Amino acid sequence: MPDGCDIVDGASADCNSNGIPDECDITSGTSGDCNENNVPDECEIDCNGNMVPDDCDIAAGTSADCNLNAVPDECDVASGTSPDCDSDGAPNDCIVCETPSDCDDCNEGTTDGCFRGRCIRLEQGGLTMPGDMDGDGDLDLDDFAIFELCFSGPDGQVPETCPFGTGGS
């Protein structure tokens, strides 16, 4: 049975500093472990402060993650990671569009576009960096993964899970 000595010698973690090994907190029900990763929920990332780890919020549907970055949308907006120009609580990354006027990235000097139902940021007539699908300023395997996800559907259809344009739509 783990005890305080296990914490001192490093055999057990005590992330919440209550003097009880984490596995005992979880087993006794003192701490929840919604994602079953053996880390008490109170020690997990909870960006919106609702006492539920972000990954569990998303899995339960209590927080949306429309851009599939494993961060609740309300936290993307609150942190400024994703703009929300229309103040609807959803990142602009997730706007489904029919025309460019449906998109607004809040940035003066840029033009927005609509490509296959997703908003994209355009500058000087093209993507911010051609091929930079995630808008992070470089071309890497993350960009290829988005391209592959979005453009390998049957009959050229873009799946709903396509996060195309997440770099500043």
Same domain, 91 and 139: yes
Asked whether residue 141 is domain-assigned, the answer is yes
47 vs 40: CA distance, rounded Å: 16
Task: Say if 58 falls within a structural domain.
Answer: no
Quick one: 99 and 146 in the same domain?
yes
Supply the range of the domain harboring residue 34: 4-44
Residue 105 to residue 87: CA distance in whole angstroms: 12
Phi, psi of 165, rounded to the nearest 5 degrees: 90, 10
Q: Is the pLDDT of residue 60 over 80?
A: yes
- Selection from 128, 82, 91 nearest residue 109 by Cα: 128
Domain assignment present for residue 57? The answer is no
Which amino acid belongs to residue 52? V
Q: Are 125 and 135 in contact (CB under 8 A)?
A: no
Residue 132 domain-assigned (yes or no): yes
pLDDT at 45 exceeding the cut of 50: yes
Print the SS3 string covering 63-80: CCCCCCCCCCHHHHHHHC
96 forms beta bridges with 118
What φ, ψ does residue 50 adopt, rounded to 5°?
Answer: -95, 10
The domain tally of the chain equals 2
Task: Determine, yes or no, domain membership for 66.
Answer: no
Of 38 and 136, the one with more pLDDT: 38
- Of 156 and 40, which is predicted with more confidence? 40
Return the DSSP state at 101: G
- Asked, for residue 70, whether it belongs to a domain, the answer is no
Q: Is residue 118 part of a domain?
A: yes
Confidence (pLDDT) at 59: 94
**Distant-in-sequence, close-in-space partners of 102: CB < 8 Å, separation ≥ 6:** 95, 96, 114, 119
Taking only the tens place, the pLDDT of each residue in 73-121 is 999 999 888 878 778 888 877 777 777 667 765 665 555 667 667 666 6
User: Is 62 inside any structural domain?
Assistant: no
Q: Which of 116, 94, 117, 121 has its CA nearest to residue 106?
A: 121
